[in-house]
Amino acid sequence: MKIEVNSLDNKKIKDIDLDKQIFGLELKEEIIYRMVRYQLAKRRSGNHKTKGISEISGTTKKPFKQKGTGNARQGSKRSPQMRGGAVIFGPQVRSHAHKLPKKIKKLALKMAISKKIKDGKFRIINELKIGKPKTNLFRSKLAGLKLDSALFIDGKDIDNNFLLASKNVPKIDILPVAGINVYDILKRDYLVLSENAVNSIKERFKQWKLFLVKNHTK
């Protein structure tokens, strides 16, 4: 499948071929759902906590004598039935992360990219670089590309001027290719890749394929 490569000025430079096994997969919503759920669960802080009876500060003295008061017998003011007492079986600090097979992660990423291509919300730019770190200059480039909500993916390194110019522009995210992920792709309307990013993605999945073949032949 052929895709246009444009400049930041929205001028066509050339066409490149993309592998359908990576960029042309059919969407399966359950795969995308599992991956997004995995990402959101993993980034939760999990610092919710209630105090148990050993953590409540207070006297250990019996509130009142066992018999003769007409009240139900009590052993401690720190008990869960008392005001300001402990919470039993309350939430504790923990990780919400769960496991997900590597094959599902790889497949979900391919499907997320393929969805953007199928929806016509995918662009390839020859290089993500601008001369000055100016927000107005960056906004003019976005206007030329007709983008108002986009995720830009560059190669291993991001141009510092490009990164600084985008800081104050809402709904614009910029990541190196190592940080590409399903949730951020779906969060923005457009996915914009540099040529370096496309080559890196191809190489990543090529290495993964060789890894699988090597393991199956053992």
Distance CA 149, CA 172 (A): 6
Which residues fall within 8 angstroms of residue 151, CB to CB, at 6 or more apart? 173, 174, 175, 184, 185, 187, 188, 190, 191, 192
Q: How far apart are CA 93 and CA 143, in angstroms?
A: 46
- The structural domains of the chain, ordered by start, are 2-38+100-216 (3.40.1370.10)
Report the b/e string of 9-45 with b at 16+ CB within 10 A: eeeeeeeeebeeebbebeeeeebbebbbebbeeeeee
Contacts of 53 (CB under 8 A, 6+ apart): 76, 78, 79, 80, 85, 86, 88
Supply the pLDDT for residue 209: 60
pTM: 0.82
Non-local CB neighbours of 74 within 8 Å, separated by 6+ positions: 62, 63, 64, 82
Q: What are phi and psi of 111, to 5 degrees?
A: -70, -35
What residues form DSSP beta bridges with 2? 17
Query: Helix 29-42 and helix 102-118: axis angle, to 10°?
Result: 120
How confident is the model at residue 44, as a pLDDT? 93
Measured CA to CA, the distance from residue 32 to residue 182 in angstroms comes to: 8
Mean pLDDT, consecutive 10-residue stretches, the chain (218 aa), reads 89 90 92 97 94 90 93 92 92 95 94 94 93 94 94 92 94 94 96 93 78 50
The rounded distance, in Å, linking the Cα atoms of 145 and 193 is 13
Residue 1 is predicted with a pLDDT of 82
Tokens of 215: 């393991």
| The predicted structure's pLDDT at residue 218 | 52
